[in-house]
């Protein structure tokens, strides 16, 4: 059994989420406004991972996927993304996009397809 749990983010989680995103060089802009779409991973109560989305009509932008040092390589990021994508399927989201400059290979290995940014919906 894994030592961590994954659950919806709460408002009081924001400082820890922001610190995790900053430690990975990920943008904070827009993240807090979409906190209700985030999941967090906790290990003994401490946030060690997060992932969220920005809804844009029938498409979503997968964003802010981060796993703390010492917790990588355990499938935590993959599991958080699976949960986010399952929630999207339940809401009948047609398309999932992400923007990355550092994790293209990670997401390509999980079925995402690289597209020029010009092919993304204008709302994203």
Q: What is the pTM of this model?
A: 0.88
CB burial of residue 76 (10 Å; 0-12, 13-18, 19+)? buried
**pLDDT of 112 over the 90 cut:** no
Residue 117 pLDDT greater than 80, yes or no: no
Share of the chain above pLDDT 90, in %: 60
Exposure string over 1-29, b if 16+ CB within 10 A, otherwise e: eeebebeebeeebeebbbebbeeeebeee
Highest mean pLDDT: which range of 30-39, 54-63, 95-104: 30-39
Structure tokens at 27: 């943008």
Cβ-contact 117, 99 below 8 angstroms: yes
DSSP-derived 3-state class of residue 62: strand
Q: Which two tokens stand for residue 40?
A: 């967090």
CB atoms within 10 A of CB 52: 25
DSSP state of 61: E
pLDDT band at 78 (very low <50, low <70, confident <90, very high): very high
Confidence grade of residue 46 (pLDDT, cut at 50, 70, 90):
very high
At 59 the pLDDT is: 87
CA 49 to chain centre: 9
Pairing outcome for strands 59-67 and 46-56: antiparallel
């Amino acid at each position: 059994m894994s030592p961590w749990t994954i659950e919806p983010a709460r408002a009081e989680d924001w400082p820890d989420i922001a610190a995790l995103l900053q430690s990975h060089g990920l943008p904070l802009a827009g993240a807090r406004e979409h906190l209700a779409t985030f999941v967090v991973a906790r290990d003994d109560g401490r946030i060690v991972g997060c992932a969220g989305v920005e809804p844009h009509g029938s498409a979503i932008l997968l964003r802010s996927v981060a796993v703390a040092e010492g917790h990588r390589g355990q499938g935590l990021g993959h599991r958080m993304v699976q949960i986010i994508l399952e929630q999207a399927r339940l809401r009948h989201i047609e398309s999932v996009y992400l923007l990355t400059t550092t994790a293209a290979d990670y997401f390509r290995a999980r079925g995402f397809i690289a597209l020029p940014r010009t092919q993304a919906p204008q709302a994203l």
